[in-house]
Structure 1
Amino acid sequence: MTDTRQVVVVTGGTRGVGAGIARSFLAAGARVVVCARRPPAAPVEAAGRSAEFRALDLRDAEAARAFFAGAVADHGAVDALVNNAGGTPFGLLAESTAARQTKIVELNLLAPLYASLAAHEVMRTQETGGSITMIGSVSGSRPSPGSGAYGAAKAGLENLAATMAVEWAPAVRVNTVVLGLARTESAALHYGDEEGIARVAATVPLGRLADPSDVGDACVFLASDRARYISGAALHLHGGGERPAFLAAASVNH
């Protein structure tokens, strides 16, 4: 459980997995600031408490610096950052444009870099340092048809986190949550109707897609003192991964 005095920033924390992460920190007693380009339709709430929203385009490095400076001015510190903002629409590389792929890389790799650099500026001067958690993806370690630039960016993000963990120790710990398939309000856009979602969930050894709260609980742990000796780690949150396709092709029952 995170310290109730912690101030936590969750990027892209207004919906989906990001909102789930924010709710887990709220339930643990933290003061939570969420940021996105647009405000949420309704406040992000849990345990009778609400996250504070601040508008921010994370692809603007100077805006990110101002954001964290403002958070420290108002709350006294930023103890933890969760770089959750990201994502991609489905699109085969040969059917897309270079400009579109560049934007995907900017959102999924450069934006977390900018936010982390800005957070480090304030965390390194704090007596208790800080914690940064990247939300990665299994797409970063396997072929990702339809989301090639996204997968490449997530691979880079995990490597970036490992490097930050070395360069910024001991003041700041940096880890990655490597997320598998998750169920959010936009799941139907990726997996189809309820029947399609059920079929996809059946491919996961634990039998379901990740709930945003699963991701949130992992992030709370990594930001807490119970993870005080964990840095440079990649925590795989994928329900056991994916069954090898050759087993189904060979009709082997395992």
Structure 2
Amino acid sequence: MTLKDRTVVVVGGSRGLGRGVVEACREAGARVVAVARDVAPLSTVDVEAVAADATDPESARRLLDAYRPDVLVLVAGAVPPGVALLDLTWDDFSANWHADTRIAFEWLGAVLRTRPVPGTRVIVFGSQASLNGSPISGGYAGAKAMVHRLTQYARLESRGPTFTAVLPALAPGTTVGDVAVRGYSARQGIAAEAFVARLAAPLTPAIAGAAVVALSTMDSVADSYLLDGAGIRPLDG
């Protein structure tokens, strides 16, 4: 299977890892539909940009019906706070539950309820924070753990589409990654550059995009994958 002339919908495709996915899929010959609240950053990319609130269930249903994607990639979410627990309000702490988790809930549910293209592949981005914790990120790790679980539940209930989760490592240079770099470097009392230098294999948007292209074209995929600068590998592999 190749992505040439296939439709790929990327929810959260205007920045960061999602932007890397958009560019890689377009380079692979796919028709790419990038969904984001702010589509202005996509004006320089040859894709169809759709402005929408990814947490809105009607938007999920409408866009799935309109585009019937061969591949659906969910990357969208809120930026975590990047400060210690004692500095958070409940609204700060729960932001990722209301964004990341709800996006997964609404879109995965919509896929299960609609008539998908035969062989549809759904790739959902969580985070390695769901495995390791993230003490400066409020409810982010827990929200991403639920995103992972929702993807597994959808896989169990699916009668057609294949659902798989991708758990990326910290990605310096992205909005979320830079929040983590600033927070953890300050916590350790070192410069941000020194913190990044200690990372064995920093993840980049281009590596994330290549991973999604690979997952989209494999004959079969595992339940979950880890993703870092070295690429993807099955979570239990």
* TM-score interval for Structure 1 and Structure 2 normalised by the shorter chain: 0.7 to 0.9
Which of 196, 201, 204 aligns to 1:201? It is: 196
- Aligned runs of 1:133-172 on 2, under 5 Å? 133-169=123-159, 171-172=160-161
Give the structure-1-normalised TM-score: 0.79
Identify if the C-alpha distance between structure 1 residues 189 and 94 changes in structure 2 by more than 3 Å, giving closer, same or farther. Answer: closer
**Structure-1 residue corresponding to 2:59:** 63
Q: Which sections of structure 1, spanning at least 5 residues, go unmatched?
A: 72-76, 241-254
Q: CA deviation at 1:185?
A: 4.7
Which of 146, 162, 165 aligns to 1:173? It is: 162
Contact 1:6 1:30 in 2 (8 A): yes
SS at match of 2:135: coil
SS at match of 1:137: coil
Counterpart of 1:70, as a letter, is A
Which of 183, 190, 205 aligns to 2:172? It is: 183
Contact 1:26 1:32 in 2 (8 A): yes
* Paired positions, count: 222
Counterpart of 1:180, as a letter, is A
Q: CA deviation at 1:239?
A: 4.1
Q: Give the alignment's Cα RMSD to 1 decimal.
A: 2.3
Identity %: 27
Identify if the C-alpha distance between structure 1 residues 223 and 212 changes in structure 2 by more than 3 Å, giving closer, same or farther. Answer: same
Which of 92, 97, 106 aligns to 2:84? It is: 92
Identify if the C-alpha distance between structure 1 residues 29 and 120 changes in structure 2 by more than 3 Å, giving closer, same or farther. Answer: farther
Q: CA deviation at 1:189?
A: 4.2
Cα offsets for 1:107-139 (capped at 9, x unmatched): 1111122122223444x443x231111111111
Distance in 2, matches of 1:202 and 1:79, equals 38
Identify the range of structure 1 (50-59 vs 86-95) with the bigger mean alpha-carbon deviation.
Answer: 86-95
**Structure-2 residue corresponding to 1:216:** 209
Counterpart of 1:10, as a letter, is V
Q: Which sections of structure 2, spanning at least 5 residues, go unmatched?
A: 231-237
Identify if the C-alpha distance between structure 1 residues 239 and 16 changes in structure 2 by more than 3 Å, giving closer, same or farther. Answer: closer
Contact 1:2 1:221 in 2 (8 A): no
1:130 aligns with 2:123: no
